[in-house]
Chains A and B, each alone.
Chain A
Amino acid sequence: MNPTRHAIGLGLRRGWTEFLLSLRSTQDQGFYLFMGVATLAYLWANRDSEIEGTDLLLPTFALPSILGALLAFGVVIGPAYALAMEREDGTLLRHKALPHGMQGYVTGQLLYHSLGLLPLLLVILVPSFLLFDDVMSNGLAGWATVAWVAVLGLLATLPLGMILGSVVPSVQKVGTWGMLPVIVLTFISGIFVPIQAMWGWVQVVAQIFPTYWIGLGMRSAFLPDAAATIEIGDSWRTGMTVLVLGAWALFGLLVTPRVLRRMARRTSGSQVLEAKEAALQWVK
């Protein structure tokens, strides 16, 4: 029995179990429901507005962008919170005390947060098809594009969440260090306001990070080819999307294991105890 392969198998089982437990938890159901209702309410309220310079309706344009943004947001903030939390509550330390435990833990996290996207996408996509017309213009080929953009986007952003969760000093700091920059980045990435409406340097910043490209990729999957005229360079820039997201995925692949190892090395029982005492202070 190869212990590493065995640990990865246990990690996959762990991720699957966590996913099932999350589906059964009212807290997480509430989160999915809230995200679904909020997105659909926004789209429904703007169902008759047209996108300037095209004959597209807002929901048609905004839906893929929002899906892309939620994907990027979810898999950065989700793992960042989970990791920061589980560093403090002792989950991580438990795995550190097991042979090959960290490999299993990280595998579990990767699977759990990837699977966590499915219900989020479903609660938005399914009602959208019932409420709006012409949501998907490209048929089967469009869905294939959705699949590869989602997978590549996941590879590009999930490691960033893991890195964030490893370096923040405490759970309370995930808000300032993680939430805030990600929200700003989402806002400038052409999800709600077309990117061309931003200042030039902001456009450059937005195009460095994955969020813009995931949104662009999703639009290329859902919208008719004619709609590419609203994008920078009048094109979906598919090659560039693959390149940028691929570069981020590579970055994650190289950096994340190092950051995780450093974090694991610094995890100890006294650290968990300090966090517990700090948390009790908050409650009091």
Chain B
Amino acid sequence: MSPPFEPVVRVAGLQMTYGSHDVLTGVDFEVHPGEVVCLLGPNGAGKTTTIEILEGFRVRSGGDVRVLGEDPAQAGDAWRARVGVVLQSWRDHARWTPRRLLEQLGGYFAPYSTATHPRPYELEWLLDTVGLTENADRKIGTLSGGQRRRLDVAMGIIGRPELLFLDEPTAGFDPQARRDFHDLVHRLSDLEGTSILLTTHDLAEAERLADRILILAAGRIVADGSADELTRQVAGTAEVRWSRGGERFVHATEDATPFVRRLFEQHGEEITDLEVRRASLEDTYIAMVQRFESGDRTAPALAEVSR
């Protein structure tokens, strides 16, 4: 176990180059014990590459990476037993049943079980937790896409990991499955204290799940903070709409409260239909990604604000 305040993931100056193409040019971030951190970014920004380097599945070109206190490129099997990886596969083990497969794969964690941290999870509990009890004895080849993904999640967490990696876990989920999955992530984080690092395209998902959001663009982390903190970083974060004398008005402002106060001081009861809309995470995200992808490097201070 890591000491309580040691980060479970520490990335400094991480670089990745494929041929002459720089995917990651200097990524820095940390994940602390029990945190749920979400990595956002446009396609091709290097989210999957980053996760695969942390999982130990890919060798980095440069920089320093520590996961649970070890370098994942060299870490051994004891380290592997403490890390969970949810993989997206598609047709493997079609003849097996979820119960049989989970029993087989979970077996690998048994030598790493301790009195304080028993491994693997109890099978019935796990099946119930991911919502597969009813389909536990069906052939995997006959499961629906959503059920298959639940099984993927079960396989990822069966070893009772201290740190869990999820790469676009809800791609292809229907809304119900997505909600169930979010509940599961909360449960793992709250009850089990599992630290979680996930990537997603879904901003609403990031907002719901993450304690902290990292935005990866142009090969580095351009923003780091809670959803709330991030939205505050973008200029004109709120939009105020009102009507006066039958006419509609719209005004973008950084600070809505004093503006509205002045508005009432000026016009009093003439103001009707007042609406204040805070910029959503989506607006923030798009603004930030655009700014960095267009090559405007005047704003990196943004990333510092929330630290």
Chain A positions near chain B (C-beta within 8 angstroms): 1-3, 6-7, 10, 13-14, 17-18, 21-22, 25, 86, 89-91, 93-94, 96-101, 104, 267-270, 272-273, 276
Contacts and interface: CB of A to CB of B under 8 A. Distances in A.
Given A94-B89, A94-B155, A268 B57 contact: yes
A269 B80 CA distance: 16
A270 B105 CA distance: 22
Contacts of A18: 95
Contact of B105 (A21, A93, A94): A94
The number of chain B residues touching the other chain, given as a range, is 20 to 34
A83 to B, nearest CB: 13
Interface of B: 48-49, 52, 55, 57-58, 77-78, 80-81, 83, 85, 87-93, 95-96, 100, 104-105, 107-112, 155-156, 159, 167
A90 to B, nearest CB: 3
A22 to B, nearest CB: 8
A25 B80 contact: no
Of B55, B77, B112, B159, the most chain A CB neighbours within 10 A belong to B77
B85 A272 contact: no
B57 A86 contact: no
A interface majority secondary structure: helix
Shortest 7 CB-CB distances between A and B: which pairs?
Answer: A90-B89, A99-B77, A99-B81, A91-B92, A3-B111, A89-B92, A98-B108
B88 A272 contact: yes
A110 B130 CA distance: 33
Contact of A97 (B78, B80, B92, B95): B80
29 contacts: A1-B111, A2-B111, A6-B108, A6-B110, A6-B111, A7-B108, A10-B107, A21-B95, A25-B95, A89-B91, A90-B89, A93-B89, A94-B92, A97-B83, A97-B156, A98-B105, A98-B109, A99-B77, A99-B109, A99-B111, A100-B108, A104-B108, A268-B58, A269-B48, A269-B52, A269-B55, A269-B88, A269-B167, A270-B48
Contacts of A267: 57
A10 B105 CA distance: 9
